[in-house]
Amino acid sequence: MNFPELFSNLRFDDSSWSKWNSINECETKFPQDKELTAFQRLLVIQSFRPDRLESAMRSFVCDLLGINDISPETLNLKKLYSKETISTEPILIIISPGADPSTELRDLATEITGKDRYSEVNNFHLK
């Protein structure tokens, strides 16, 4: 089905669309009489309610992949240290802007090594 055919099948002059357009979470409440695929619903939301597009895309991806959420799990340094590290290998932590695991890292390090054996290296700048 191409877009002009889809557009004509949706009958946008129907009053159910004006109700749908005023619903806050419209991506979850499409008019019952409209038979749309998940991708077609996404196209309609992109066209008429771009403010709800991110939420609709999250739902689309989760439904398609059969998962509950696409957000990554929050990093737990203690869990990472206890399950995935070897004492002879360093750990490289790459962070994104705004993330600061230093407090969690400091707490974990002092818990493991003791406060008297822990020290920080500060003022490290890449050029």
Where exactly are the structural domains of the chain? 3-65, 77-117
How far apart, in whole angstroms, are the C-alpha atoms of residue 62 and residue 50?
A: 19
Whether the full predicted model's pTM is greater than 0.85, yes or no, is no
pLDDT digits (tens, 9 = 90+) for 66-105: 988 887 777 788 887 777 788 788 878 777 788 888 888 8
The DSSP output letter for 74 is P
Q: 51-60: long-range contacts (C-beta < 8 A, 24 or more apart)?
A: 52/25, 52/26, 52/27, 55/25, 55/27, 56/27, 59/27, 59/28
Interatomic CA distance for residues 86 and 71, integer angstroms: 28
